[in-house]
Amino acid sequence: MASKTRAYSVSGINADTAAKVAKVLQERLNTYNDLHLTLKHAHWNVVGPSFIGVHEMIDPEVDAVRLNADAVAERIATLGFTPNGTIGAILKTRAWEDYPVGKGLVPEHLAALDAQYDRVIGENREAIEAVSEDPITEDLLIGQTAALEKFQWFVRAHLENGTGRS
């Protein structure tokens, strides 16, 4: 969890709201740090037909998710709290199962990534509601969620068969 020590604040946000927002953001930071590692794992371990397209599709998303983590951590710091980007922080709050695929075919990885994105996007939507008292943070999470939804669309497009259905 983000440190409860708050040396300063942002104008217009009371201490209780800032603490609530920082806690929600710390949860997003933990999720994004886990997701970017999961994406890199899939990138390294995907095999089979369509390998290169999926392999190359994942790297820019790794970068985007890492930038999400950075923006969230910087928002925590802006609110006057200390972001925690360690593996220990992830493990203390992690309520989700580890990514289930090692070396695997494209459809297996994409189905697993689709499930990861369902979880992350759902949690982000809950986080957006939870931070509604701070429109700056709300806007940050809305933009990040839209980008995650777009990548999930890319994943799902690969899962469709020749008839346009999954």
- pLDDT band at residue 24, thresholds of 50, 70 and 90? very high
- Other CB atoms closer than 10 Å to residue 68's CB: what's the count? 26
Q: Give 94 or 163, the one with higher predicted confidence.
A: 94
- pLDDT band at residue 5, thresholds of 50, 70 and 90? low
Alpha-carbon span 151 to 164, nearest angstrom: 18
Per-residue pLDDT at 21: 97
Instruction: Tell me what the mean pLDDT of segment 133-140 comes to.
Output: 97
| Domains of the chain, start order | 15-159 (1.20.1260.10)
Residue 163 pLDDT greater than 70, yes or no: no
Per-residue pLDDT tens over the stretch 38-75: 999 999 999 998 999 999 999 999 999 999 999 999 99
The fraction of the chain above a pLDDT of 90, given in percent, is: 86
pTM over 0.85: yes
